[in-house]
Amino acid sequence: MPPNAQIVPRYVAEPPQAPAPTGAFADRLRGEFLGAAAQLDGLDEPGELSFFPDRTWHGHTYIPITGGTEAGLEVYGYVFFAVPEDGGEPTEFAAYADYTDETAERNPDWQLDISDEVIGGWRGLDGSVASMTLVWGRAMIGEGTVATAELGELTVDECSLQGERFTLLAPDGVGGALLEVRLYSAAGRELARESLYDEE
């Protein structure tokens, strides 16, 4: 097999390791996330929060979270924390939050409802840098079982859906290729695809 013309990091994050958070751990995550959301101007109090599958990369676990507000906004972001190698309690909690008025409820034609945030970089050949991007979302149509991250026609990550939710961690912008999310059925049939970038 000939060498690759472009080296791309693939499947760099651990697959989800736990079910949706519950109990005291869920309360801790909510507290961290709401603390970050409280710093945002123009945001009313979020209601019920939804947790997305965890992904671990470079010693930190990321758990995306979203929630709606009475004003019809969606607050989104994630909590991340350090994972001790000895299996001890997580430490160094921190959170990121933002909000938008572009919601699935206002866009009934959406097939995927996705959010994304760059959380790091990966340096490749000749000074190229990939934007390591956390992507989380919901399938708005039925039959989906797996979401994938595609860089051009190369699959760089995948996540089995938990309910309708998924989390991906993938490189973006390598060799000019832009990240896209695809949804597949259990039989491997493509059901939907969505770029991280506006079609315009």
Phi, psi of 146 (to 5 degrees): -140, 135
Asked if residue 85 belongs to a domain, the reply is: yes
Asked if residue 12 belongs to a domain, the reply is: no
Please tell me the distance from the alpha carbon of residue 105 to that of residue 96, in angstroms, as a whole number.
23
CA-closest candidate to residue 117, choices 196, 56, 16: 196
Q: Which domain holds residue 41?
A: 23-195
Q: Please answer whether residues 183 and 112 qualify as being in contact, where contact means their C-beta atoms are separated by less than 8 angstroms.
A: yes
Asked if residue 9 belongs to a domain, the reply is: no
**pLDDT, tens only, 124-134:** 888 889 999 99
Residue whose structure tokens are 């921190």: 94
For 140-153, what is the mean pLDDT? 96
Give the count of domains, the chain: 1
Give bridge partners of residue 94 from the DSSP assignment: 80
Asked if residue 7 belongs to a domain, the reply is: no
For 155-178, what is the mean pLDDT? 95
pLDDT at 200: 44
Asked if residue 76 belongs to a domain, the reply is: yes
Of the pLDDT bands very low, low, confident and very high (cuts 50, 70, 90), residue 175 is confident
Residue 174 above 80 pLDDT? yes
**pLDDT, tens only, 42-66:** 899 899 999 999 999 999 999 999 9
Asked if residue 17 belongs to a domain, the reply is: no
Asked if residue 15 belongs to a domain, the reply is: no
Asked if residue 2 belongs to a domain, the reply is: no
The residues, any chain, with a CB within 8 Å of residue 55's CB and separated by 6 or more, are 13, 14, 15, 16, 61, 62, 134, 159, 167, 168, 169
**pLDDT, tens only, 70-124:** 999 999 999 999 988 877 889 999 999 999 999 999 999 999 999 999 999 999 8
Please tell me the distance from the alpha carbon of residue 179 to that of residue 194, in angstroms, as a whole number.
9
Phi-psi region of 33 (alpha: psi -120 to 50; beta: other; left: phi over 0): alpha
Please tell me the distance from the alpha carbon of residue 173 to that of residue 99, in angstroms, as a whole number.
24
Phi, psi of 113 (to 5 degrees): -115, 105
